[in-house]
Amino acid sequence: MVRSEIKAASIAGGFVRVLVAELAAAWDACRQRPLGTADFRTWLAAREMTARRLRVADHRVPTYTFDELARLCQVTRRRARASIRRLIAAGLIQWADSAISFPPLPLPAGPWAESIGRARGAVAIPRRILRFLAAGASPATIAVALAALLRCVSRRRSGWDGRGRFKASWVAMTFAVSLRQARSARKALVALGWLVPEPSAQWAENRWGRAYRMDLAWQSPRPASPTGPRSAPPTDPAGPRSAPPVSDPDPLAGAGRENQYPAPGGPAGAQVSGTGNPADPLTPPRLANVLVEDLKDTGRLLELHRQAIERRLVTASEADRLRVMAAAEHAQAVGRTNPAGLFAQVIRRGLWKYLTHADEDRAGARLKAWLRGPCPTPPAAPAAPAGRPSLSEDARTAREVRRSLAASGYRGDPFPALRRHDPGWTRERWDRALAELVGRDGAG
């Protein structure tokens, strides 16, 4: 049963106060290796364990066990113990048999400031939803629940209020989850009755998102009894259904936007991408909305690397810088429909294992060309002596393309520019031509 109005002056079941900075730092840390989402659920369960012992008498010493932690997270004792070891190594928790503490953490960079007190305050997490999230909730479900708490829960004179607005795009950008998963998780929390959508004006939804009211008296659904035989779920009469396409979930607005603005005035008709005026300025590169032009321009790609460092997706080491460059080369060589999206997924999810040695070689050559500047135009080579093999047509074309681009100040990979003028060229054909130049002239 969905309640249309919930006016609770208190949070049923109690709540736990957590600083927004600590919550954000723990989430960002657990979204990177060697930690994971399971470790963040352990971190939440530890918060519940400390809340259970707030009213223990002064003369009694509290006791914390891994068995209790395993029951909260619904994992084995061994997994719970291993997760605590990883959290201790990361500096997110201090664990002892008689005390659990959480060290202060700095607020990470990103859109976290668009929350309670500009991320300088604390958020009240109801203990019922806290236990629900710790017991195996998906990353998107945790992200939407925390976003709703950050944007909806507030303290009034009359008591607690759970009404607010938030967008799925803000959830995806802040918590680094996909927009499709954020929308699906929000729909699931509405179906559980924890979030209740409220009617609002369309212009307000476009600007701030839809209004939701949180059920402060919400009860977690009880799991089915594990004892006794259970029947299989009924078969869907419509048969199996395929999931909707996910290659480009929001092609018009881009990451972080849901509003559709009217296009500026201009001539009527359609324009194919890439055929406009090349002198038109591009928007600054953003990791939340990667463009194909970012992959081709080394300067814009290095700016994306800097933003990835701020979000703790990579480090400032030369190895990770080469990885980012190799990811761009891999996306351009493999990506057919959405190379920018492929590059973003490799960076955000750390899918470095898909990069090949050829990608790293091209990335290294491209990075060296950028750091050393354009190569000066060499003087005309003397005529080949008798008996020396002449260059093929492909090798001569590759040499002229590199010379002309270097003279114009272009520092990137010449292959994409050649491919635009002659689609018949492939990466393998280009590499063969360069290998012939190396074998003939001794220079790449």
List, as one string, the DSSP characters of 286-327. Answer: BTTB--HHHHH-HHHHHHHHHHHHHTTSS-SSHHHHHHHHHH
pLDDT at 330 exceeding the cut of 80:
yes
| pLDDT score recorded for residue 437 | 77
Residue 238: is it exposed, middle or buried by C-beta count within 10 angstroms (0-12/13-18/19+)? exposed
Peptide bond into 34 cis (omega under 30): yes
Q: What is the pLDDT of the chain when averaged over all its residues?
A: 79
CA dist 255 to 26, 167, 170, 349, Å? 23, 12, 9, 16
R_g of the chain computed on alpha carbons: 28
**How many Å apart are CA 31 and CA 178, to the nearest integer?**
13
Write the DSSP symbol of residue 269. S
Contact of 412 with 298, CB cutoff 8 Å:
yes
End-to-end CA distance of the chain: 71
Q: How confident is the model at residue 82 (pLDDT cuts 50, 70, 90)?
A: very high
Tokens (6 digits) for 91? 């500096």
Of 106, 83, 84, the residue nearest 95 (C-alpha):
84
| pLDDT score recorded for residue 9 | 54
Question: What average pLDDT does range 64-92 have in this prediction?
Answer: 92
Residue 91: is it exposed, middle or buried by C-beta count within 10 angstroms (0-12/13-18/19+)? exposed
Question: What average pLDDT does range 237-249 have in this prediction?
Answer: 58
Name the residue with higher pLDDT: 384 or 367: 367
Question: What average pLDDT does range 257-264 have in this prediction?
Answer: 47
**How many Å apart are CA 336 and CA 58, to the nearest integer?**
65
**How many Å apart are CA 113 and CA 5, to the nearest integer?**
29
List, as one string, the DSSP characters of 365-419. Answer: HHHHHHHH-PPPPPPPPPPPPTTSPPPPHHHHHHHHHHHHHHHTT--S-HHHHHH
Tokens (6 digits) for 374? 């354009």
Question: Rounded to an integer, what is the distance from CA 193 to the centroid of its chain?
Answer: 28
| pLDDT score recorded for residue 383 | 54
How many Cα atoms occupy the beta-carbon half-sphere of 428 within 13 Å?
A: 1
Q: Largest Cα–Cα distance of the chain, in whole Å?
A: 100
pLDDT at 232 exceeding the cut of 90:
no
Question: What average pLDDT does range 318-335 have in this prediction?
Answer: 90
22-47 per-position pLDDT tens digit: 888 888 889 888 899 999 999 999 99
Question: Left (φ > 0), alpha (ψ -120 to 50) or beta: where does 422 sit?
Answer: beta
Whose structure tokens read 């989850």? Answer: 177
- SS3 (DSSP) at 343: helix
**How many Å apart are CA 110 and CA 150, to the nearest integer?**
15
Question: Left (φ > 0), alpha (ψ -120 to 50) or beta: where does 356 sit?
Answer: beta
Phi, psi angle pair for 353, to nearest 5°: -65, -15
Question: What average pLDDT does range 151-168 have in this prediction?
Answer: 83
List, in order of start, the domains of the chain with CATH numbers: 15-214 (1.10.10.10), 292-372 (no CATH), 393-441 (no CATH)
| pLDDT score recorded for residue 114 | 60
- SS3 (DSSP) at 149: helix
Q: How confident is the model at residue 118 (pLDDT cuts 50, 70, 90)?
A: low
**How many Å apart are CA 156 and CA 137, to the nearest integer?**
30
| pLDDT score recorded for residue 151 | 83
Tokens (6 digits) for 300? 């814009």
How many Cα atoms occupy the beta-carbon half-sphere of 288 within 13 Å?
A: 20
Q: Give the whole-number percent of the chain exceeding pLDDT 70.
A: 75
Q: Give the whole-number percent of the chain exceeding pLDDT 90.
A: 22
Question: What average pLDDT does range 182-193 have in this prediction?
Answer: 92
Q: How confident is the model at residue 85 (pLDDT cuts 50, 70, 90)?
A: very high
pLDDT at 271 exceeding the cut of 50:
no
131-144 per-position pLDDT tens digit: 999 998 999 999 99
Tokens (6 digits) for 234? 């009924």
Of 320, 328, 256, the residue nearest 296 (C-alpha):
328
Question: Rounded to an integer, what is the distance from CA 27 to the centroid of its chain?
Answer: 12
Question: What average pLDDT does range 222-245 have in this prediction?
Answer: 58
- SS3 (DSSP) at 336: coil
Write the DSSP symbol of residue 124. E
Tokens (6 digits) for 286? 């953003």
| pLDDT score recorded for residue 2 | 34
Strand 94-95 relative to strand 154-156: parallel, antiparallel, unpaired? unpaired
Q: Considering the entire predicted model, what is its pTM?
A: 0.50
191, 194, 198, 204 alpha-carbon torsion, rounded to 10°: -100
- How large is the angle between the packed helices 127-134 and 37-52, nearest 10 degrees? 140
Phi, psi angle pair for 181, to nearest 5°: -65, -35
Q: Cβ atoms within 10 A of the Cβ of 115, count?
A: 22
379-419 per-position pLDDT tens digit: 555 555 555 567 788 888 888 888 887 777 777 788 888 88
| pLDDT score recorded for residue 132 | 93
Dihedral of CA 154/159/160/166: which sign?
Answer: negative
Amino acid at 159: G
